[in-house]
Amino acid sequence: MSKDRLEIEYPDDAMIESQIQMIISQGIKPKESFYSYLKKMYRQIGLRHIFHDATEIAFTFFIAISILLFITIGAVRESGVADESIYSFIFITSPMIYLTMALVSFVNTKFNGTYELEMTFKFNIYQLAAFRMLIFSIISILVNTMMIYLVAIINRQMDFLMALMISTTSLFIFSIIFLYGMMKRNTAIKKHLIIGGWILSNLFLTIYSKEFYNTLLIHVPIYVYLLVITGCIYVYIKNLKKLMFSTDLGGI
Amino acid sequence: MLTIHNLSKNFGSFTALKDINLEFTNGVYGLLAPNGAGKTTLMKIITTLLYPSGGEVLYEGQDIFKRGEDYRELLGYLPQEFGYYKNYSPMQYLLYIAALKGLEGKVAKERAIELLKLVGLENVMNKKMKKFSGGMIQRVGIAQAMLNNPKILILDEPTAGLDPKERVRFRNLLTDLSREKIVILSTHIVSDVESIANEIIMIKDKEILYKDSMRNICNLIEGMVYETEVAFDEVSSFKQQYQSLSEKQEQGKMKIRFISKDDIPASTWKPVSPSLEDVFLNIYNDEILEGDNQ
Ligand SMILES: Nc1ncnc2c1ncn2[C@@H]1O[C@H](COP(=O)(O)OP(=O)(O)OP(=O)(O)O)[C@@H](O)[C@H]1O
Ligand SMILES: [Mg+2]
């Protein structure tokens, strides 16, 4: 070992401090908020590309709405004036619009085999999905509200506000379950079970103890619904955020 | 710099890769290994599609999975099976991808046109891709990988399906575009990497066997490759004694290229300088034989 080492002056405290600050500020980017990230996606990608399969979605959307309208009108006609089963009907069908729109995009990607490529982009499938699902929920709420309004005109016995609460609660509970099924690295079968399970368990409840189910839906006070909805929206957004910012969902 | 550290990947109880240690600086790397060796698996890990079972992948010292979006922004990837939307034209598709890669609209358009010209698709850039041939699709795939001028370009069998003319075009394109990038391409077509890659990586038994320049890899069997002519009735006994690399009928005799580790070659043997293909055949010979016996 040579004795005459190079002399390096030891940096003073201020210097060390400023260097550390620089390393930290470059190493850790400030975490973006959900809203600002959505805005960034909107600005950088644009709606045209975020909803690049808008035609397919619109097509499926109208088919779904037609079917739903058809069933709804049938159901309203059939149920007598005092029949309260309209509420459980609303509870079951409210997430359907959301479900069809969300499924179209997944089927589309899967069918075209673009999943692998699109996962490696700066804005990957999960981030896009988070954005899209949020928009889908908003569209769903609007469509559901309109449908319920329509039904309320035909069936004057139905409480519009109550129906709206039931519908929105149902939509968000389902959205959370759907998101959960998507985010956990579940197998396809499990995912189908989650969706099919929703319809089946609701149907089971209606058929098996219609009375109880309807009474339950009606007798929950509005403020409880509001509480549940708020809670659900909170969890939903939190999960969307997770979906958007997760870094380890990509792998298997 | 991209560093792979003690990487392993299992699918259930099956081990696809183990003890992988690699370092990539700017340059073109050719992953050369037979079918099922784990090339795609390694590339999928580098593109964050697969999570490693053990070890880590670092870019500039940071874990690529933790970097997430920042890392993907630097990435260009051509998957082995390239998926596309059939009703899109190449132009529409490239613009869509450019948007997802975070490129600004005007820049994206210029870049897309430029790349479509480079891959020779400028005449069909507004035709629907469902009418395209396999080679044309592959060229759209190559173009999309380069859209964001990636720092890390991963191409999984980029020349599959390309005709000889397009292969040459691809090589030139890559030489032009690969400056100041890490380019990793996989293939089992030896002649592809021979002309493109600065370094060759070979995987055997789920591990990295070599990572070296072509020259050095060929030197491994320098002085062991010969050509000679053998009468037809002696061919089978000759092949039992020496590992044949290629055979060709010529003027009523069989011309055989083979490997011999004998110290004293026969006077009728003509020593030749080894090609990468010779090394490939030599290295994976046991595997091919094992495969035949199964
Ligand atoms: N998702 C998976 N599940 C189980 N095994 C897998 C999976 N993906 C790959 N394998 C296995 O891992 C091994 C390596 O596969 P890989 O696709 O990486 O090979 P490759 O070198 O790309 O082959 P090729 O030249 O044919 O493309 C193979 O034995 C394959 O069967
Ligand atoms: Mg492969």
d(CA B263, CA A191): 65
According to DSSP, the β-strands at B270-271 and B243-250 are unpaired
How far apart are the CA of B106 and the nearest CA of chain A, in angstroms?
12
d(CA A122, CA B47): 11
User: What local confidence, expressed as pLDDT, does residue A26 receive?
Assistant: 56
Whether pLDDT at B293 is above 70 = no
Angle between helices A160-183 and A96-112 (to 10 degrees): 30
Q: What atom of ligand 1 comes closest to residue B38's alpha carbon?
A: 18
A123 contacts in B (CB within 8 Å)? 69, 100-102
A44 contacts in B (CB within 8 Å)? 99, 102, 104
d(CA A105, CA A111): 10
DSSP-assigned beta bridge partners for residue B24? B2
Nearest to B186 by CA among B170, B203, B161: B203
Angle at A45 between CA A39 and CA A47, to 5 degrees: 80
Contacts of B248 (CB under 8 A, 6+ apart): B254, B255
Nearest to A217 by CA among A207, A206, A233: A206
CA torsion A41-A43-A49-A50 (nearest 10°) is 30
What is the H or E stretch that residue B91 is in? helix B90-100
The average pLDDT across B152-173 equals 91
Ligand 1 pocket, mutate which of B31, B40, B78, B185 (most atoms under 8 A from CB): B40
Task: Kindly report, residue by residue over A41-60, the tens digit of the pLDDT.
Answer: 999 999 989 998 888 889 98
3-state secondary structure of B55: strand
Q: Is A41 left (phi over 0), alpha (psi -120 to 50) or beta?
A: alpha
User: What local confidence, expressed as pLDDT, does residue A197 receive?
Assistant: 81
How far apart are the CA of A68 and the nearest CA of chain B, in angstroms?
29
- DSSP classification of residue B289: H
Q: Which class for A196: exposed (0-12), middle (13-18), buried (19 or more C-beta within 10 A)?
A: exposed
* Cβ–Cβ contact B107 with A under 8 A: no
Task: Kindly report, residue by residue over B85-141, the tens digit of the pLDDT.
Answer: 888 999 999 999 999 999 998 999 999 999 999 999 999 999 999 999 999 999 999
d(CA A51, CA A66): 22
Nearest by CB: B72 against A45, A112, A121: A121
Q: Do A112 and B86 touch (CB under 8 A)?
A: yes
Sign of the torsion angle spanned by Cα atoms A51, A55, A60, A61: positive
Q: Cα of B153 to ligand 2 centre, how many Å?
A: 16
Q: Which of A69-83, B41-55, B185-199 has the highest mean pLDDT?
A: B41-55
Q: Is B159 in the pocket of ligand 1 (CB under 6 A)?
A: no
Name the residue with tokens 């981030």. A127
User: What local confidence, expressed as pLDDT, does residue B292 receive?
Assistant: 44
d(CA A195, CA A189): 10
Nearest to B139 by CA among B153, B154, B150, B129: B129
Are B182 and B172 in contact by the 8 Å Cβ rule? The answer is no
Task: Kindly report, residue by residue over A187-241, the tens digit of the pLDDT.
Answer: 667 767 777 787 788 778 777 777 777 777 888 888 999 999 999 999 999 989 8
